[in-house]
Amino acid sequence: MFYPMIKNILANMTGGVSLPVEYPAAPNQNTTSGETFVIETITEGLYHCPDQKYALFGYSQGATLMLNILVQLNTTALDSIKSVILVGNPYRTPGKTSNVDDFALHDKKASVGMFAAHAISSNGTIPELSRELDQSGKVLDYCLEVSINGIHLGI
């Protein structure tokens, strides 16, 4: 489903490659192994090629993974990230500059991801973009009007 988008991104990035991130997909959203992999990949990549650039993509639990790594990266690593695409973000919250609809237009709806809704009701924590990153223009957090499997709709 997302292959055409990734192919288009790579076509616009000279020397770009796609690197899948493996982690156990589970209801508890534990993305620790994937987070470690992404952070090490970016850190090592910048050590060997300081001018290297990154485009990050996360769907559903992958969006959770990306939110978690973005708060762990240092300034140099964050500067190397040129775009972040989140789709079906279970921790999506309203009022973010990065929130967009199916057509990449700013989304002002009060859509809340299913895990964000649970975290709010249980007074839990919600992984979020920093204000600076949210307003940077680098991030698009898509809320799907039509879900692939019924659970990725904004509530």
Q: Which residues contact 129 (CB under 8 A, 6 or more apart)?
A: 67, 70, 96, 98, 139, 141
- This prediction's pTM: 0.87
Instruction: Show the CA angle centred on residue 44, arms to residues 24 and 30, nearest 5°.
Output: 20
d(CA 155, CA 145): 10
According to DSSP, the residues that pair with 84 across neighbouring strands are 56, 139
| Greater model confidence, 150 or 66 | 66
Tokens of 106: 């700013």
pLDDT tens for each residue of 100-141: 988 889 988 888 888 898 888 899 899 999 999 999 999 999
Domain 19-154 of CATH type 3.40.50.1820: yes
pLDDT tens for each residue of 9-46: 788 877 788 888 988 877 777 889 999 999 999 999 99
d(CA 38, CA 18): 12
pLDDT tens for each residue of 37-95: 999 999 999 999 999 999 999 999 999 999 999 999 999 999 999 999 999 999 999 99
- Write down the pLDDT at residue 102: 85
d(CA 62, CA 142): 13
Q: What are phi and psi of 130, to 5 degrees?
A: -65, 155
Closest Cα partner for 91 from 44, 39, 154? 154
d(CA 86, CA 127): 13
Q: Which residues contact 44 (CB under 8 A, 6 or more apart)?
A: none
- Write down the pLDDT at residue 150: 46
